[in-house]
Every structure is written in C-alpha cells, then in structure tokens.
Chain A
Amino acid sequence: MTDPLAATTLSTLADGPLFGLPLAKLWFGLIFAVLGTFLFLDGFDFGVGALFATRKTDAEREQLLAAIGPFWDGNEVWLVVFGGMLFAVFPTIYADLFSRHYLLMFGILAALILRGLAPEMYEQRHDEAWQRWWGRSFVVGSVTAPLFLGIFTGNWLFGVDGFASVASLLVGLAVVALTVVDGAAYLGVKTRGDVRSETRAMGLLAQVVYLLLAVAAVVVGSQTVDHVTLLSAPVLALLGATVLLAVTYAVASRFGRWYVAFVAVAGQVYGLVALVATLLYPMIDPVTGLAVEEAIVSTLPLNLTSIGAAFLLPLITTYFYVLYSAFSGPVEEAESYA
C-alpha cells in the first residue's frame, strides 16, 4: 500500500467501528432480520408446498406452482445470505452451530434439494406416476425444510447440543404451522375461487395451531433453560403482539383483505425471530456462553462487510420490488409453472 490516502482510510477502518456504531448489536439484529425475511418469503413457498397436498385436480396444482414459479429461487437466496453473513460476521458461531447440528443441517439441505427440484421435474412429464412422485416430493420437501430450520433455530435458542429437545421440536412444528398461514395468505393474494376459499380455512386452523405451539415452546423452554423466561416485559409484549396479529389475520382473511392478512403474517414471522433474538441476547450461543460482543469478527472485516451490506441491501430491495411488480396480481386459472 503506497497510496497514503488509501493507507489512512484503511487504518481508520481498522481503528474502530464505522461512525462509532454499535456494529456487533446491529449485526446480531440484522442476522435475525435476514433469517426472518427468509422465513417469511420462502415461508409462503413452503406453505404453498404444504397446501399442494390438499389440491386434487391437475389444474389447481398447476395454479399453485405457477403462483410461486418466478419467486421461490430468489426467496431461497435469503438463506444463502443468512449463512454468508453469519460466516462473515460471527465466524465462530457459524462454525460451532453448523458443526454441532451436523445431521440437522444436511436434513435442511436435503429438504431444499427436494423442494427445489420438484416443481421443475413435475412439469417435465404429464403421466400420473411421475407427477404423483414429484408432487409428494414437493410436499415433503416443503414441510421438512421449515421443520428442520425451526428445530435448528430452537436448538440455537435453547442451547441444545443434540439432535433436538422437546422445546426445539415445538419451535420446528410452530414454524411449519406459520408457513402454512403464510402460504394461505399468499394464495389469498394470488388465486381466486375454490383454491382461495379452501386454503383460507386451512390457514385459519394453522394460525390457531401456531399460537398454541409458539406459547408452548416458550413455556417448555422456560422450564428447562435458565436464560429463557416467559414473564419478562419484552417476551410478553412480543407474544401479545403475535396474538393481535393472529386476530388481524383471521379478520382480514374473513373479509377478503388479503394484503392485510399477508402483512399480519409477516409481522408474526419477524415477531418470532425477534423473540428468539431477545431471549438469546446478550448471549449469541448458550452452549459456549459466548456473548454477541465476544463473538463478533475483528474491526476491519466487520467494517468492510458493513459497508457492503449498507450498499447492497437497499439494492436487493429494488430487485425484489421489480420482480414482484412484474408478476403482480393473481395467476390465471389456466396458468402453469412451465
């Protein structure tokens, strides 16, 4: 480095966090926000996948695939970004969490492979045996991916050092229920007629199940793990907000206000990851007891990744805006994935 200006910039970047910001805390929040974005966006793909099992006619199944066709790949990239950010900013946590939950991580990957391939394969041939097989694969992948991801999140929160605990299993099931709520709201926006009215009923059922499972997970967790408490102001506030959003969802979907219902689901998903982050903080990994401030990467790479994210995340928002507006409005009844 011969350029003195560049050398100064560099040593400033290595000196302290950018603009004196509390970057460790911000990144802790951002990591969970990205996980939440993944669970919300790919969540409706998963939910549509689960609801696919209830659709019997070929036309309706094609409609469901068409509804997520242009979107699911982009949605899934939020998981890649989550993994990359965790690696970049909390490398120790990334390494510990992923290696500790070895088989679970590969369970997530296997589910995502199945879910990603199934729609492409389903369209390749139109004989019954082939479509039955890939239809089932689509459903199985779409249900197990959020299940394993939920268990992973629960294991992280409760500091489980095995495959799962009762509490983390409850989180997994809660996440599956939440994706079904999400998928039903999405189909409310993207479809008409029988598909919409029938999936609405399932969405409502899943909403009730989600509330029960989420509360049960916190209660069971608080009985078994020290850092998880039910009776604290932020936890009660988040659970209260979730109940309100659930009621909003039920009312909005009853009156056909699907965008409102969709936003109410988004609120619940971000509420869930906020709950996890709140219960963890100031720790980031209960198993090793590492705090957020201890696990953060050193200043220079932290600043560089922060600058990158500050420029790129707003850009990504515009990509998603362009994509979703290009395919706004409901899918036609005769539309298919191909």
Chain B
Amino acid sequence: MIDPVIASRLQFAVTTIVHIIFPVMSMGLAPFLIYFTWKEIRTNEQIYEQLRSFWTKIFAISFVVGTVTGIVLEFEFGTNFAAFSKTAGELFGGPLAIEGMMAFMLEATFLGIFIFGRERVSDRLYMLSSVLVGLGTWLSAVWILIANSWMQTPRGFDIAMESGQPIVLLVDPIAAYANPRFPWMYVHMQNAAVLSVALFMAGVAAYFVWQNRDTEFWRKTMKIAIAVLLVSAPFQAIHGDAYGRHVAETQPQKFAAMEAQYETDSSVGLKLLAFPTSVESLTDPRAENLFVVELPFLASILASGGDPGATITGLNDVPTEDPPVAIVFWAFRAMVGLGMWFILLAFWGGFRWYQGTLFEDDLLAKAFVGSSILGILTVELGWIVTEVGRQPWVIQDVLKTHAGVSPGLTGAEALVTLAGFVGVYTALLGLYTYVIARIIRNEAPTKPPTPERERDAPDSVGVVPSDD
C-alpha cells in the first residue's frame, strides 16, 4: 500500500494546485468589477452594464468553486497533517480563524447582493457590495499569506517539546505575522492575480477579434485588459527580481535549488538554459552534467543586488537533504520566461493600440488567445517554486514535512481520498471550463459568425443571418 506521507503530500498538491485557480480568478476580477460597477452607475452607459453583468457571471462560478475547494484545504490540515496542526496550531490557527471571520464572511454575504441584487437594492448599496466583495477577496489573501509566509520565514516563536513533539509557542505576534516574507508574497500574488485575469480577458476578447465577431463589448474588454497588462506585467518582473534577492537572503537553500547551485561559490553565473545531455540530468540539473547557457556573474548580481562577486550558498553546504531541485529549477525558469513573454505581449498590444491597428493584427490576436490561461499557469509555477523549494521543511528549519503528517493515517485511507480527489477534481476542472466556455459563448454581446466573403462588411451586428 502507498505510504501515507507520499499520498498526503500528493493530495495536498493536487487540491491546492486546483484550488488556487479560483481565488486567482476572483481576486483578479474584483478590481475590474468594482470599476465596471462604478462606471455603470456614474455614466449609465450600457456597455458598462454589459461588462459588469458578464464578468460577474464568471466571478460567481469561480467563487462557488473556490468556496467548495477552499474548505477542503482548511480540513486537510487536520485530516492529513494533524502533527503539523498540533505543532503549529498556536500560530497557524489564529490567522485561519480570523480569515474566516474577517474576509470570507464579508465576501460571501455581499456576494449574494452583488450577484442577485442589482434590481433589488439601491445603487449605493450595490456599489458598496462590489467594493466589499473585492475587499473580502483581498483580505482573505492577507490572512492566508500571513499563515503561509510564516512557514517560509518563521519568526516570533519559541519551541517547547511535548511528549516528543515540538510545539510552537507564540511569543511575539507582530514579528510572527508581519514576518519578512509576507509583504513580498502579498504584492507578488495580488499583482499576479490581476495580471492573470487581464491576460484571460484579453485572450477571450482577442478570440472574437480574430474571428471577426468582435463588438464594442469585446473591443472595450481588450483595451482595458491591455492597459492593465502594460502596468502589471513589467511591475511583476521588477518586483520579482527584488523578491528573488529576498529569497536568497532568507531561504538560501531554496535560492540554490532555483539556480541548481550545488557548490558554494562566488561570481556565479545565471543559468539561462540548461539542456540536459541525458535523461538523468533532466531530473537532476547539476551544472557540470549539462550543456549550459550561462550569463556570467548574473546569479551573484541578482542575489546580492549588484555585486558580481557575491557568494551564493550551494546545496552541498546546507546540512539537510535537498529539495527536488529539478522541479524547482525548471518551474522557476518557466515562470520567469512566461513573465518576460507577458511583458512583450503587453508592449506589442500597446504599440498596436497606439498605432490604431489593435484589431487588425491577426498574429497579435492569436498570441493573446494562446496566452489566455498562461497567467494562471505561471501562478501555479510560482507556487511550485515556493512550496517545493521549501522542502524538506514544511516550516522552514522547524518541522519537516514528513513529520507533519497525521500519525494514525493509513495508506489505504490516504489512497482512497487521493484517488477520489484526482477523479472529482478532474471532473470539476472539466465542468468549470465547460461552464466558462458556455458563458462566453452565450452571455456576451457577440456578432454571429459570418461567412468569409462578408467579412469586414460595414456594421453587420445582428443583421447578418447566421447559417447554423
């Protein structure tokens, strides 16, 4: 039978990887929805009412799926990681309780008004509801990331031993909750959510532009999304660069894994690409076994903020076992590479917009369509770097992951739920995709498909009979 430790870790990986999609959608959509609602109420223009109503439908389904997959995570700390919960409960439980009361309650109640109440409540209460729902989603991230960041850079605690198990005692709540990682993580995550949703919006809009079925609705969507991308994509890279330095300082083992740096060395180059020369080196990207494209001194410069001779601690000089280096190394490169692509895409779109040819560049439209869910994929990669890079620790330097698993859990039980989640969550993702596609197809003002020869006919909205 499967090892309950492995099964629990796999299960937590599956359930978080699926769950995070939905908060990204709701946190990213929230500022757009507040803007659309505000414009709708201020200007009374139909386009904003349409934008608000359409994107609220996407928000609603994302929120529901986010709720049901989120409760799973809260329960899993107890079911699968009971030892972790006992060790860290004193520090870790508080933020979760406060998150439920302060944030989740706010969003879930005012969401009822925001989704169902446009005709029932005053403009003022409706506007307030949109703001409170948005505030709720962003506050939720505050408390969840406080809990997570403390696991990366734990501060403000003492350790006592109780019947052979370490128990974390809260000593200084300000140091613990305002730990060094939290602000980095929060800014990086929230901007990533906005960036991912802007990419999604631009991608969907670009599809209709490319198909020549765009209306004012889709053109507006695309412009708003590109405007947001022009700010959020470069910001993410600049911020990420500084975040990387912070990781090098506070979690040298993780940084070494991100760079596949085994030996402690000075003047380290940045491995831009490392082509595996054998199957083994794909899973163990040690620099010496690889064909490496390296930018000299750059890793040292990145880690130190400008010193090409700076020393980087290698994995061999960290006393614990290594994290799975290959996963961290490749996930980090893929994340950064995609981030660079988003900047390029944003400027390409911005340039066409400036030229006045935004809706005529088919290649650009295709690039946006192809990138529509890449933002979310990049968030996943970033979280893989964060979480896998912290291994073997679940709380950095305090508790190892295998020691956090519920002691009484059997392999059979763990296998049953793991298999259940793989099945249920595959179905869930399929359903979510199906519903989103249906909403996009049916609920937005879109021109019907036109035969090829009638393309570019002047203003054919609603008058061209569709053949099907």
Measured CB to CB, the residues of A under 8 A from B are 1, 6, 10, 69-71, 73-74, 76-77, 79-81, 83-85, 87-89, 91-92, 94-100, 102-103, 105-106, 108-110, 112-113, 116-117, 120-121, 124-125, 297-298, 300-301, 304-305, 308-309, 312-313, 316, 319-320, 322-323, 326-327
Contacts and interface: CB of A to CB of B under 8 A. Distances in A.
A312 B169 contact: no
Contacts of A110: 420, 424
B159 to A, nearest CB: 13
Given A81-B97, A91-B89, A116 B68 contact: yes
B80 A99 contact: yes
A87 B90 contact: no
B101 A70 contact: no
A322 B394 CA distance: 41
Contacts of B98: 84, 88, 305, 308, 312
Interface string B55-85: 0000011011101111110110111101101
Nearest to A116: B68
A313 B101 contact: yes
A79 B428 CA distance: 22
A308 B115 contact: no
B120 interface: yes
A74 B105 contact: yes
B106 interface: yes
Residue with the greatest number of chain A CB neighbours at <10 A, chosen from B78, B85, B121: B78
Contacts of A97: 78
B108 A76 contact: yes
Contact of B64 (A91, A116, A308): A116
Contact of A70 (B67, B94, B115): B115
Given A74-B109, A308-B94, A308-B97, 5 more contacts: A73-B64, A97-B78, A99-B82, A102-B406, A308-B101
Contacts of B77: 87, 94-95, 98
A91 B408 CA distance: 17
Contact of B85 (A95, A116, A304, A322): A95
B86 A92 contact: yes
B413 interface: yes
A71 B70 CA distance: 18
A116 B62 CA distance: 12
A74 B112 contact: yes
B22 to A, nearest CB: 12
A287 to B, nearest CB: 11
A84 B413 CA distance: 24
B125 interface: yes
A211 to B, nearest CB: 31
Given A85-B97, A117-B64, A91 B90 contact: yes
A17 B109 CA distance: 32
A112 B74 CA distance: 14
B173 interface: yes
Contacts of A308: 94, 97-98, 101-102
Given A92-B86, A319-B106, A100 B116 contact: no
Contacts of A301: 90-91, 93-94, 170, 173
Given A116-B68, A124-B438, A327-B116, A98 B97 contact: no
A327 B112 contact: yes
B417 interface: yes
B256 interface: no
